Amino acid sequence: MTSRGIAAAAAVFAIALPGAAQAQGPPGQASTPGAPGVGDPYFPEEGNGGYDVRNYDLTLGYDPATDHLDGLALIKARATQTLGSFHLDLTGLDVHSVKVDDVPARFERSGQELIVTPHNRLRERSTFTVAVDYGGTPATIVGSPIVFGSPYGFLHTDDGNFIGAEPNAANTWFPGNDHPSDKATHVFRVTVPAGKSVIANGKLVSQETSGDKSTFTWEELDPMATYLATVDTGNWVFKNGTTPGGVPETVAVDPTLIQSQANAVDFFYDTTAEATDYLATQFGPYPFMATGAIADNATYNGRALGFSLETQTRPVYSAVRSTTTIAHELSHQWFGDSVSVADWHNIWLNEGFATFAEYLWLDHKGTRTAQQSFNADYSRPASSSFWRIVVADPQRDTMFASAVYRRGGMTLQALRTKIGDGPFFEILRTWAAEHRHGNGSTDQFIALAKRISGQDLDPFFQTWLYTPQKPTSW
Ligand code: TRP
Ligand code: ZN
């Protein structure tokens, strides 16, 4: 489900040559390698060109005692061009073999690129399955400035593991087309030592124990960006049900969190239900088949992580978090997960919207009005470096800067007061509906806002999203 054109991918290919081997094909035909990236301005190597993934079927074994992951990834994809070779993203780990349509393929590795040369050239528009047999100890990303300096990706916890991979860490635990422009369905078949359990995205379709191993199969059958996939193993206390609004809900909480907060399971369960149903009254129908929470006791080198991520259908939390954080992560189910960024420079479409959802949530709870939240954020002095970030293009290492969140949220509240609640909420609901299970860009959002409000909002968005100064009139 790729939304970017081949032109953009081809441009990147010219910059980063993979040096892929040639597939066998009729003599005299031009080499037809798939591009190593999709042209993301912040992450040129993320994603790949020439195909479109339909489904990831991951058979995994994880042993918390050794931190070792074994994987067989079956990737079903459709070629969008003739392919003599193509790339997958994969960082670290060992690749034992690669097959394409059951035929052994040649492969080589170069940085995060796994370059596959199938025995037979793949025809444009044909569907094929890549099987990658791999394994090793996934590396946590540390020291990168991208996620406010926090370790992220695959975390090895006391009792298992915990995954939060935004924006570029899915390829540290499975091979794929690691960019939100290519969404796919996911199946996770995960085997762990008996006594441990597994929570992941979507719904649990089977669970069986034989001998000293247990296997859990989870399925997310709505399209999902790779970074929103999570598979978390360990000791879990589960609570299942349905929200009053009718959304199936599963919560999993690490029992060590319950030791310090006795009501942790009910707290996550009840807050998630309330926020899921409340946000649906604001943004339109909940976009997925389940909601929930995964709350772990996650540390890195003994230090607590400030870790919450909007993993699809079921956000992850590295400890017990506030109701506002829970509402924030659930608002991403609409803005981020269902409507995903076309590329990463549009990140304010996730974080600004989730911050605005916090404003709504605090208003709903009677804590303060959305305008009071706006006022508090706006009160930062004009001299603050906060106002220097261009929200619509914050740059890679500052893509999660607080301005992307708070100024992004202020932008929506300012728009609301400018055009009125009627058109404003119609814009949000139309955005969620028209791009449901797809992608969106800032330009598309601005065009929609202009269409629904009937106003020329270019100066407004220029001031709020593109000018590195504190807005004074709009
Ligand atoms: N999207 C997260 C939020 O706003 C922040 C985040 C980015 C994150 N990358 C992450 C959290 C990686 C955990 C892991 O809630
Ligand atoms: Zn967020």
pLDDT, one tens digit per residue, over 304-337 is 898 899 999 999 999 999 999 999 999 999 999 9
307 Cβ below 6 A of ligand 1: yes
For residues 172 and 67, give the distance between their C-alpha atoms in angstroms, rounded to a whole number: 14
Q: Which protein residue has the closest C-alpha to ligand 1 atom 2?
A: 309
153 Cβ below 6 A of ligand 1: no
**Residue 422 pLDDT > 50:** yes
Residue 396: the pLDDT is 97
- The SS3 assignment for 130 reads strand
| Residue whose pair of structure tokens reads 């990706």 in the numeric block | 153
Mutate which of 350, 400, 402, 405 for ligand 1? The one with the most ligand atoms within 8 Å of its CB, which is 400
**Residue 346 pLDDT > 90:** yes
Ligand 1 center from residue 309 Cα (angstroms): 5
- For residue 302, what pLDDT band results from cuts at 50, 70 and 90? confident
State which H helix or E strand residue 341 sits in.
strand 339-341
State which H helix or E strand residue 71 sits in.
strand 68-79
Q: Which protein residue has the closest C-alpha to ligand 1 atom 14?
A: 164
The tens digit of pLDDT for each residue in 79-132 reads 999 999 999 999 999 999 999 999 999 999 999 999 999 999 999 999 999 999
Ligand 2 center from residue 345 Cα (angstroms): 15
**DSSP bridge pairs for 113:** 89, 110
Ligand 1 center from residue 408 Cα (angstroms): 16
Q: Mind giving me the DSSP string for 293-350? A: EEE---EETTEEP--EE--TTS-EESS---HHHHHHHHHHHHBTTTEEESSGGGTHHH
Q: What is the mean pLDDT of residues 149-160?
A: 95
Mutate which of 146, 226, 308 for ligand 1? The one with the most ligand atoms within 8 Å of its CB, which is 308
Provide the whole-model pTM. Answer: 0.94
Q: Which has the closest alpha carbon to 147: 123, 165, 124, 171?
A: 165
Per the prediction, the chain carries an average pLDDT of 94
400 Cβ below 6 A of ligand 1: yes
Q: What is the mean pLDDT of residues 33-48?
A: 95
152 Cβ below 6 A of ligand 1: yes
- For residue 31, what pLDDT band results from cuts at 50, 70 and 90? low
The tens digit of pLDDT for each residue in 398-409 reads 999 999 999 999
Residue 20: the pLDDT is 40
